[in-house]
Structure 1
Amino acid sequence: MVVSIKTNTSALVALQQLNAANRDLDEIQDRVATGLKVRNAKDDAGTFAVAQKQRADLDAYSAVAQSVQRGINILDVSIAAMETISDLVIEMKAKAVQAADPSLDNASRALIDADYQAFASQVSTIIDAATFDGFNLLDKNPPVPATDNLNVLSEPDADPTKAITVAAIDVKAITTAVFGDVTNLANAQTEVAALNTMLQNVTSALATLGGNSLRLSTHSNFVQTLQDSLTVGIGTLVDADLGRESARLQATQIQQQLSTQALQIANSRPQQILTLFQG
């Protein structure tokens, strides 16, 4: 074996092993500190690129979820308003039937009409107040244009042709626009018939709103499922296995200690050359 003080091969090998152990320790400590095995493109360019795309999709789906939830909230307000209007129409019908009693005089009917008009005014107030985040699905003037419809995002590309559309309703056209009075027998009888039709229209509008609310709720659940899947997928790509890293940490620390000892031994060998020249 060649003995040289110029080139200490053993020391070089030991130093390489020590440097490798130190790099591994730095990597392990970074993963433990951040919880990520792929934190940036330097760690794994391909995996990082895929994860970034999925993160972009996840953020986009968050915007979709917000849009859908806003739609659900608008519909909740609209449904609550229509349910109240339905109750008021029922009360108005009772008043109209009461006023249609042939045995009553018009003075009595005038008293009944005062309550009747109060209910009618309340219907109009509720329609005007059925607003959420500046949007009212019920207070529309005929003919209702498509721009008054509620359009909700359905997917992250924000393609308007794929939006979920909830048609606006001209509730005043089926309620306040046809309200009259019950001040005489003929008018009371007319109102009873009109209120029967009105109640059918209000019930139909309620059913439509309820169906649209269910539709948005179903889509909201679907979007949440997609978000969960993306979150799991991103985690699979970039999250560190802390159990595995813990095992690596112990093994690498031992390797570091052994490499340090090996380097110390290798560095002491050139001193042994002096013994060859001692007489």
Structure 2
Amino acid sequence: MVQGLSINTNPAAHVALQQLNKTNKLLNHTQLKITSGLKVNGPKDDSSTFQISTRLRGDISGVNAVKIALTNGDSTVQTAITAGKHIKDLLIEMKGKVIQANQAGIDGNSRTALHNDFRALADQISTIALTAEFNDANLIKSGATTFTVLSSQDGSTISISAQSMDTTALAINASNLTTSGSAAAARTAIDSAIVLAADKLAVLGAASKRVDVQLEFTGSLADILTEGLGNLVDADLAKESAQLQAFQIKQQLGVQALAIANAGPQTILGLFQ
């Protein structure tokens, strides 16, 4: 037998096969990065980065949940504010009726008509207060309670006190314009109701501002966490694309090298010719 040639073992083929397998593994790994867009697809890729990224994904999910809660809370407050503004406008319109009813010499028919208009506007206030609801929460109806909004992942909340704005809360539920005396009393009541409605709207406005500030911060925090996660795990696709081409070339060369190594033992047949 010629030294270095054997039909039982082929060291060159073994080396070529090992290198080809290594190239195929790297090629598959690079293809996975390109397909997923991630350089860390599991703990085997980078255990510490995978652990950090998993925690960040949990934080992002939690922050997004808080953001949803704040958005819903803001909508609830805005619903109350919008309704309260309509109630304030109705109160101003009611004051006009009251002033007319307090003028001297008004006849009975006119007083009755003004009274009916006054009470119709009051009934509209009651309807608005009762229906100013968002997601089963109403901050201005009779008997409304304090509303809490989740503001952080640790369970912190923003408390928004109820601001009932029905006719009873505004102390005009019994007001009428049927007599000059009741019209005079109604004037005092409606003036107080307008001031009270303005105060309640101011409280709701301050609460809305607080929720808006927290919502803006939470949105910024979610963006920062998402960007940080991307910096940790996102693949550089330009780099991975270049590596993919390089590995594809290496794979082709490896196949050729293995073919050449496998053909080596064929030379032994020449010794027997």
TM-score calculated relative to the size of structure 1: 0.89
| Residue 207 of structure 1: aligned partner | 202
Determine helix, strand or coil for the equivalent of 1:131.
coil
Aligned mate of 1:104, from 98, 103, 106: 106
Long gaps (5+) in structure 2: none
| Residue 156 of structure 1: aligned partner | 153
Q: CA deviation at 1:177?
A: 5.0
Q: 1:140 to 1:114 in 2, by over 3 A?
A: closer
Within 1, Cα distance between the matches of 2:206 and 2:32?
A: 51
Within 2, Cα distance between the matches of 1:111 and 1:278?
A: 128
- Which structure 2 residues correspond to residues 47-196 of structure 1 after superposition, within 5 A? 47-141=49-143, 148-157=145-154, 159=155, 162-172=156-166, 173-175=168-170, 177-196=172-191
Determine helix, strand or coil for the equivalent of 2:159.
strand
Within 2, Cα distance between the matches of 1:263 and 1:216?
A: 68
Q: CA deviation at 1:189?
A: 1.4
Q: CA deviation at 1:115?
A: 0.5
Q: 1:177 to 1:191 in 2, by over 3 A?
A: closer
Determine helix, strand or coil for the equivalent of 1:214.
helix
**CA deviation string 1:236-263 (max 9, x = no partner):** 2222221111100111111112222222
**CA deviation string 1:138-195 (max 9, x = no partner):** 1132xx6xxx2111111123x2xx2011111122343255541111112111111111
TM-score calculated relative to the size of structure 2: 0.91
Determine helix, strand or coil for the equivalent of 1:13.
helix
Aligned mate of 1:9, from 2, 8, 11: 11
Q: CA deviation at 1:74?
A: 0.8
| Residue 219 of structure 1: aligned partner | 214
- What is the alpha-carbon root mean square deviation over aligned residues? 2.0
Is the Cα–Cα contact under 8 Å of residues 171 and 189 in structure 2 kept in the other structure?
Answer: no
| Residue 237 of structure 1: aligned partner | 232
Is the Cα–Cα contact under 8 Å of residues 79 and 209 in structure 1 kept in the other structure?
Answer: yes
* Identity fraction in percent: 38
What count of residue pairs does the alignment treat as equivalent? 270
Q: CA deviation at 1:266?
A: 2.2
Is the Cα–Cα contact under 8 Å of residues 38 and 239 in structure 1 kept in the other structure?
Answer: yes
Is the Cα–Cα contact under 8 Å of residues 120 and 176 in structure 1 kept in the other structure?
Answer: no
Long gaps (5+) in structure 1: none
| Residue 254 of structure 1: aligned partner | 249
